[in-house]
Amino acid sequence: MAARTRLTPYVFLIPSAIFFLAFTFWPILQGLALTTFEWNLFKSPEFVGFKNWNALIERGDFGHSLWVTGKIVLLAVPSIVVLGIAVAVMVDRVGRGKIFYRSVFFAPVIASPVAMSFVMRAMFREESGVINFFLGFFSIPNVEWLASSTGAVSAVVMFFVWQATGNSMLIFLAGLQGIPTALYESANIDGARPSQTFFRITLPMLSPATFFVLIIQTVNSLQIFAHIYTLTRGGPGYATTAMVPLIHQTAFVQYNMGLAATYSVVLFVLILIVTLLQWHNQRRWVFYG
Amino acid sequence: MARYSAGTNSIGLPKRYRLIMYVVLTAVAALYAGPILWMVVSSLKNLRQFFAYPPIFFPRPLRLENYAEVFDLFPLGRYIVNTVLVAGVITVAQLFSTSTAGFAFAALEFKGKKVIFLVFLAGMMVPFTVVLIPLFSLIRQFGLVDTYLGLIVPFVFSPYGIFLMRQFFLGIPKDLYDSAHVDGCTDYRIYWSIYLPLSGPALATLTIQAFVFFYNGLLWPLIVINTELKKTVSVGLLSLIARDVTSPHLVMAGAAVSVIPMVIVFVSLQKYFIKGIVMTGLKG
Amino acid sequence: MAERKQIQMFLVTCLVLLTLAGGTLFGGGSAESDEEPTIRFAVAMDPARLKLYEAAVEEFNASDRGFTVVLENTPWSEYWQKLQTQTASGTMPDVWNYVPGFGQEWLENGLLLPIDQYVEASDMDLADFIPGMLDFMRYEGNLYGLPYDMSGHILFFNKELFDQAGLDYPTEEWTFADVRAAAETIVSEVESVEGERVYGFGNYMNSSWSSAGYYKSFGGDFVTPDLEVEIDSQGSIDALQYFVDLRNDGLAPPPTEAGIGDTAGGQFITWLTGRSAMILDGPWAIPTYVDTVEFDFDVVPVPAGPAQRAPSLLGGTFVIDKDTDYPQEAFEFLAFITSESQLETIVAESGAGIPGRQSAFDKMTPLMEKAANYIMQTNQAFYPVRGSFAIFDKQNSEFELIFNGEKSVEEGLTAVAAFARNVVRENYGE
């Protein structure tokens, strides 16, 4: 009896473990090994030791992509959190039409970035695009979205945030459901203003949800690819070449597999560090009721 | 037991605020609905109308032929069928692998539990590009290039799914497990007859997320599939880029066909998985 | 209780379906080997042309040659990436769509099958193929492929806008200076078209293979046959500056309307809506324009620059993988798909481009044939090097910054040239 119980948990892990070992772990090891090779796909891989790691430091493009990714993450993640909370709070309070509003905000999550990139590209056109058309009503002159460096980054962030808000809204809606009504009632009795209720009760009680959204969206935005690849191809110049687009380009345009693998490993470490930092920090502000 | 709020609109919000809230909410909703609506509107234009300025919001006549033309150009229906089928198989596989693993992590005790869990979780943070080429080599060695199975196999293991299921199962009271154990049930029995049936909402959540993830996925299907008729929707849509130069209105129609049905399906199913997210329990 | 049972039933069904599905997928997915060998034929065509290739392959398979051909298509923008993955994993197609410059690595790294012996054994007449295109496929004394089309640029012009401005149409003698003058006149004479702004010139200088021709026209070059990088020479700078000036002086539209950054050759919006008087584009665009634009247009050769008239020549060819299991069969198919009748149907009659065989020229529309002759007369083959693909990509990125004003022409081209020199050095030593 005792022997059987000791093995059972591992049996439950088998399905996941098999696929993990074969199709995640092993390729990761190979990817790691690849960082010490130079391989342009046409000749056999050549062992070069630390050449790729040196190249990473010497070449400007990794640092530049780090900078681009940083910009995107710092713009996108707070937007997703704030918009998610704002929309969730409003949708939560709506009587009728709750399902309607929820659907509207969730639809972008389902829409494929490839498909929507066509639409976005048309919308962001300088002279014939809808967005500039509407801006015209506010007397704002035509913005050079996709062709200018700052405009392109903004467009990518907007595209990404538009798509991700629905997910974060759902998490926050769930979080809101978990707040005891009693808290609101007593606040009401005490004569609290709505803004006080929001900042002193709602937000703190939402902190576990906020934490969850923060982690997931940070990890996601650090790896942003499809939105950039389909909307700007990393352009203009390299203005929107974030880390994963850079890796893709290094591998499939410059045929430098070893260097691409090296970039990938560093990105992974980065994501790990950022996540760990956030995880550690949670003690300071996350409030588990 | 504290009363949990199911819609806080009854608690102390003055009428004035409510009105402003509605206005703001509707405005924001309009912004979010905008691109999808614009896609539909654009898909019914002809070429001249597409580039017209000021932009046309109600094309006359509504050019439904665009949709017929798109299907004529590509086997779009076939792409959709392929993608739905493969996504379906992946989802079922994930439901199985994640629920079993999640159960083990949540309800059972064993050596190395914490370490294994963290290792699995780390899988979530690995950028796909790290494994892309090695994974492709591996698939080739198994003879799975240009096969549906080749598309499926890397995605059966889902760290996000394991995380989700574990959190959910953690919310199920341990007493349930203990009393069943005392009654002589094996862990398998407990998993199958107690935990699994209770996990409906979580399974539903996972289903949607897995399905959408694969449906919209680009890089892997692009590399694995060669044959035209086996392509997924995302890959098929890329061919539309070539067409974008001279028939952007057709491209819009193609995009709409790939987006709208999915949206309709999931919007109508939303109540099933909203519950799931609620019950996932967001505690550490 | 009932709910539990339901979920259990559902999951059991799912598992059963899963195993079944996995089983059939596994079986049905892998190519079941009949007695017949299979040849994989990879192309990068847009949907309309793809249909013609599908028909050709069907026709071939129906004629019972003892082997079957399977067609694989990837959109152009992802095609080379796909080929690389296939090379890396040893899953190259048997016959594939090759473009000089883009595919140089495969040619110079010995990954293609020389076809000289097969050509001699058959009764193929190589003289019928366009000589410039065949030259692209010769390397170190061997022939490696056969062309299916030829392309270059020509100048398109909107007759109605020229009429409105009271100008004579462009001729075969025109220079870039003439183009500029005409553009200025048109912009000042023609108020607007349907309430929208008019431009003299609808697109910019292309950043990939055709850039070589424009650099040469002004006395510069891309990479010379001596492997000298001349992208930052004064001639090249002048060439690019010419186009930048068109933009800055309001004679050409903003980047997004001029097709920059669009991967598939650019969406020349102002030209399509009749608001630009001229563009530089290839004959492949003629059928589309004939079908969609609402104005009368015509073509002339690319104008001459101060140094010479030397637009670039390029085209598509089909090659055979060195490690194919069925070289004889692959060549048989290659000969078929580049035969006069196939090129007539797929390339000439469809208007997809200029066929690689001169005997098929007469099947083109008059306008296409005119363009074809211009290209044959004026275009010069550009010199492809290994790493061209990466250099084109770098050049494209820099062009984006140059045309939106964030970099000067000198800065941008210097950056491209430095990159190009590195690439050439890495690939060729010295």
d(CA C74, CA C93): 12
Task: Give the pLDDT of residue C18.
Answer: 52
Question: If you average pLDDT over residues C1-6, what whole number do you get?
Answer: 50
The angle at the Cα of C164, spanning C162 to C169, to the nearest 5 degrees, equals: 20
pLDDT band at residue C1, thresholds of 50, 70 and 90?
A: very low
Q: Which amino acid is at C379?
A: N
Q: Which amino acid is at B133?
A: I
pLDDT in tens, C236-293: 999 999 999 999 998 998 887 777 655 444 568 888 888 899 999 888 888 778 877 8
Task: Give the pLDDT of residue C30.
Answer: 41
Backbone angles phi and psi of C304, in degrees to 5: -85, 145
Query: Cβ of B130 under 8 Å from any chain C Cβ?
Result: no
Query: Cβ of C389 under 8 Å from any chain A Cβ?
Result: yes
Assess whether pLDDT exceeds 50 at residue A175.
yes
Give all chains having 3 or more CB-to-CB distances under 8 Å with chain A.
B, C
Task: Give the pLDDT of residue C146.
Answer: 94
Task: Give the pLDDT of residue B2.
Answer: 38
**A chain contacts of residue C256, beta-carbon cutoff 8 Å:** 124-127, 129, 144-147
What residue has token string 């950022």? Answer: A274
pLDDT in tens, A225-269: 989 988 888 878 899 999 999 998 888 778 788 888 899 889 989
Q: In 3D, which of A179, A152, A184, A190 has the Cα closest to residue A72?
A: A152
d(CA C371, CA C360): 14
> Helix (H, G, I), strand (E, B), or coil: what is residue C97?
strand
Range of weakest confidence among A41-50, B212-221, C108-117, C141-150: A41-50
- Answer whether C263 sits within 8 Å of A233, measured CB to CB: yes
> Helix (H, G, I), strand (E, B), or coil: what is residue B70?
helix
Task: Give the pLDDT of residue B5.
Answer: 44
Question: What is the rounded end-to-end Cα distance, in angstroms, of chain A?
Answer: 40
Question: If you average pLDDT over residues C328-337, what whole number do you get?
Answer: 93
3-state secondary structure string across B201-247: HHHHHHHHHHHHHHHHCCHHHHHHCCEHHHCCHHHHHHHHHHHHCCC
C385, C427 Cβ separation under 8 angstroms: yes
Q: Which of A30, A61, A148 best tests the C interface by mutation, with the highest count of C CBs <10 A?
A: A148
Shortest CB distance from C256 goes to which of A126, A234, A239? A126
Q: In 3D, which of C317, C352, C311 has the Cα closest to residue C135?
A: C317
The rounded mean pLDDT for chain A is 86
Question: If you average pLDDT over residues C122-144, what whole number do you get?
Answer: 90
> Helix (H, G, I), strand (E, B), or coil: what is residue A113?
helix
d(CA A263, CA A247): 6
Rg (chain C; Cα; Å): 25
Assess whether pLDDT exceeds 60 at residue A4.
no
Structure tokens at B167: 């959190």
**A chain contacts of residue B158, beta-carbon cutoff 8 Å:** 16
Torsion sign, CA atoms C273, C278, C279, C283 = positive
Highest mean pLDDT among A174-183, C226-235, C252-261: C226-235
Q: Which of A34, A40, A240 best tests the C interface by mutation, with the highest count of C CBs <10 A?
A: A40
C378, C219 Cβ separation under 8 angstroms: no
The rounded mean pLDDT for chain C is 85
d(CA C48, CA B245): 13
State the nearest Cα–Cα gap between B102 and chain C, in angstroms: 16
Mean pLDDT by 10 residues, chain B (284 residues): 43 72 92 93 85 81 85 84 90 91 87 86 80 82 86 88 84 83 83 83 81 85 82 82 71 87 80 59 41
Q: How many CA atoms lie within 13 A of C129 on its CB side?
A: 24
Query: Cβ of B261 under 8 Å from any chain C Cβ?
Result: no
Query: Cβ of C138 under 8 Å from any chain A Cβ?
Result: no
d(CA C346, CA C350): 6
B157, B123 Cβ separation under 8 angstroms: yes
**C chain contacts of residue B239, beta-carbon cutoff 8 Å:** 46-47, 73, 75
Q: In 3D, which of B193, B106, B101 has the Cα closest to residue C7?
A: B193
Task: Give the pLDDT of residue C5.
Answer: 57
Shortest CB distance from A128 goes to which of C80, C257, C404? C257
Decide the pairing of beta strands C95-98 and C38-43: parallel
Mark which residues 102-131 of A lie under 8 Å from B by CB.
Answer: 102-116, 118-120, 122-123, 127-130
Task: Give the pLDDT of residue B7.
Answer: 44
pLDDT band at residue A54, thresholds of 50, 70 and 90?
A: confident
Assess whether pLDDT exceeds 80 at residue A25.
yes
Q: In 3D, which of B256, B260, B253, B255 has the Cα closest to residue B67?
A: B253
Task: Give the pLDDT of residue C76.
Answer: 82
